[in-house]
Amino acid sequence: MRHDHLISAKQLSRDDIEAVLDRAATIADDPPDHGDAILALLFFEPSTRTKMSFDAAMKRLGGTTVDMGPVETSSVKKGETLADTVRVVEGYADAIVLRHPSEGAAKMASEFVDVPLINAGDGAGQHPSQTLLDLYTIRENAGLDDLTIGIMGDLKYGRTVHSLASALTNFDARQHFVSPESLRLPRSVRYDLHEAGAQVREHTDLEEVLSELDVLYVTRIQRERFPDENEYRAVAGQYRIDEGTLAAAREDLVVMHPLPRVDEISADVDDTTRAKYFEQAHNGVPVRMALLDAMIGGEDR
C-alpha cells in the first residue's frame, strides 16, 4: 500500500490487496507496536460493528482511538461542515476513519487533511476496508483465482457490493449479480466493470446461476427502499435463502454476508459448513490491523 488515503476499492491493485491479506494472516500472532498512535473514528451515521472493528484493530496494535460521540451531541449538529470537522480532527490523530451518509464524503474530506483517511462507508458509495475483509474470507475459503461468485440483494445502494465488485476485477473472477430489476447495479459500477473487462452477468433469479457458484455474497434488501410495504414483501421473499434454496448449490458453496442480516439468510444455514458470515465479520480485526499498519507507519511510509 502506498496510498495516502483509502477512499475507493478502485484504488487497490492486486498487489495492494495481496499485501494486506498476507499481512492480515500473520499480524494477530505478532502485532507490531503502534503504541503512540491515535486513530480518530468519525462516524456520522451509526455503524457499531465497523466502528468497533477499527477500534479493536487499533487497540490490538497498541494504539488508542478517539471519537466524536453520537452525531446528535457533536458540533455537526450545530451545522459545522465536514471539511471543518476533519481539519480540526487531523490535529488530534495520526489517521482518520470516516463513515458518512453522503456519497463522495470521504473523497472530499481527504482533500482537506494530510493524515491518512480511510473511507468506512460513504452513503451508497464505497466501503473498501469491508472489501478487504471480504476478499480475505473468500481467499481463505474458496481462493481468489478461477472464482465464480454470485452477489445478491440490494446492488443499487449496497456500498459493500460496489467496492467488492471493483476489487474483484483484479482477479480471475466471474461475477453474477442477482437482484430485483429496481435494485440492479448503478450505471457507474457497470461502467467500471465494463472498462475493466470484467466477466459479468446480471440476473433477477438466483436459480439461473446458483449451481455454478463458489461463493454467494448476500446483502440485505432494505425496506425503506420501497414506497409500498407489499412491493417490498413481494421482492424480498425471492432473495431470501435457506437450506432448501441451497439444495441446488454445490456442497462447498461459501455463503457470505456483510451483516447485519435481517431475514435474508435463514438461521438453518448458520450451522452448515457453508456459512462463513461470522468468520467474515471476525476477519475485520486482523485485516484492519494490517491496513492500519500499512497506512500509519508501515515500512512503506
Partner 1 sequence: MSDDTLRVSKIRDGTVIDHVPGGQALKVLAILGIDGSAGETVSVGMNVPSDKLGRKDIVKVEGRELSQAEVDVISLIAPAASINIVRDYEVVEKNRVVRPDRVEGVLACPNPNCITTGDEPVASAFEVLDAGVRCAYCDTIIRRDIADHI
For the annotated catalytic residues, the residue numbers are 49-50, 78, 99, 127
User: By CB under 8 A, is residue 103 in contact with partner 1?
Assistant: yes
Q: Which of 166, 117, 136, 168 is nearest to 6 (CA)?
A: 117
User: By CB under 8 A, is residue 187 in contact with partner 1?
Assistant: yes
User: By CB under 8 A, is residue 107 in contact with partner 1?
Assistant: yes
User: By CB under 8 A, is residue 196 in contact with partner 1?
Assistant: no
Residues 115-144: x/- map of binding to partner 1 (CB under 8 A)? -------xxxx-------------------
Question: Concatenated DSSP letters for 235-276?
Answer: HHGGG-B-TTGGGGS-TT-EEE--S--SSSB-GGGTTSTTB-
Q: Which of 200, 201, 209 is nearest to 245 (CA)?
A: 209
Q: Pick the piece of the chain touching partner 1 (CB under 8 A) from 180-188, 203-211, 226-234, 276-284.
A: 180-188
Q: Which of 1, 5, 7 is nearest to 159 (CA)?
A: 7
CB of 108 to partner 1, least distance (A): 5
Q: Which of 231, 176, 227, 225 is nearest to 198 (CA)?
A: 176
User: By CB under 8 A, is residue 3 in contact with partner 1?
Assistant: no
Q: Pick the piece of the chain touching partner 1 (CB under 8 A) from 37-45, 63-71, 107-115, 223-231.
A: 107-115
Q: Which residues pair with 136 in a beta bridge?
A: none
> Which residues, numbered 65-84, are part of the site for partner 1 (CB under 8 A)?
79, 81-83
118 phi, psi to nearest 5 deg: -110, 125
At 195, list the grid cell.
Answer: 472498462
User: By CB under 8 A, is residue 4 in contact with partner 1?
Assistant: no
Q: d(Cα 122, Cα 44) in Å, to the nearest integer?
A: 10
**Interacting residues toward partner 1 by CB under 8 A:** 79, 81-83, 100-105, 107-108, 111, 122-125, 186-189, 191
